[in-house]
Structure 1
Amino acid sequence: MEPHHAHQIEETIERDVRLDLFRGLGLWMIFLDHIPNDGAIGWITLRNYGFSDAAEFFVFISGYLAGFIYGPIIASGFLLSAAKRLWTRAAHIYAAHIMLFLIFTAQVARTSRRLDNPMYENEFNVFNFLQHPDILIGQALTLRYKPVDL
């Protein structure tokens, strides 16, 4: 079988908008969970009603969606094609994360210096990175160094 058949199988899988709805709800709940002193609006998110929060809910639905899309491709014998597509997707997400890390860190450093308030660097956990970027860039690239809310 030729690799372009895997793409045809992927195109025949009909999108389930219910999964998109639940992922969207998960994203909204993540947003609402990050509002400080949210009062009553925080009670509509999952963090108050179980052992998981909205981020875990979002990851679960996304994983289910990946299985829903790539499962039939793998079942049809296109394991390498599915693995290549998943690896490409993971590489795109990794690149986006690194770009967000760099932009976030630069913005916190700029704001801290512009407002002459080094507390921002500590509050967002970028102080150590700004003091030792030569050492911590490796940890950032391996996703072990994480600023707050990234």
Structure 2
Amino acid sequence: MEAQNAINNETKSSYDRIYELKVFDEGKLGVKRLIDAGIQKVPSMFVRPLEDREKDFDTCSENISVPIINFADLGENNDRIAEIAKEIIMASNEWGFFQVINHGIPNELLEKMIKRTKMFHEQDDEYKNKILKQNVHN
């Protein structure tokens, strides 16, 4: 209940985002539980201050493209393997993510994986915690 009060208390003049996040975390509410509770507005603790968001636009280029790593000819020679490894390291260090093409994984399998991931995240916390505990101990 304390966590819910902290989330709903958005009119507080001395807004304390750190406190609200701590209460939210300790309450183990989870974003899914907020959605299930029918919230109509994103709690202020999840919204960055406007001045911080505006700074992001100052450094943003309109010509941004996510690094694409082509796995074509991956097994052909060691030089190609080393080249791909360098591309992955660069993309990971500079971007934190990248897109892989020509990986050979059928779209049907990728779609099943996405569907099952969504199904998992729609489960109740008890089920997800059970799975988490199984994986932690293995």
| Bigger Rg, which one | 2
TM-score (norm 1): 0.24
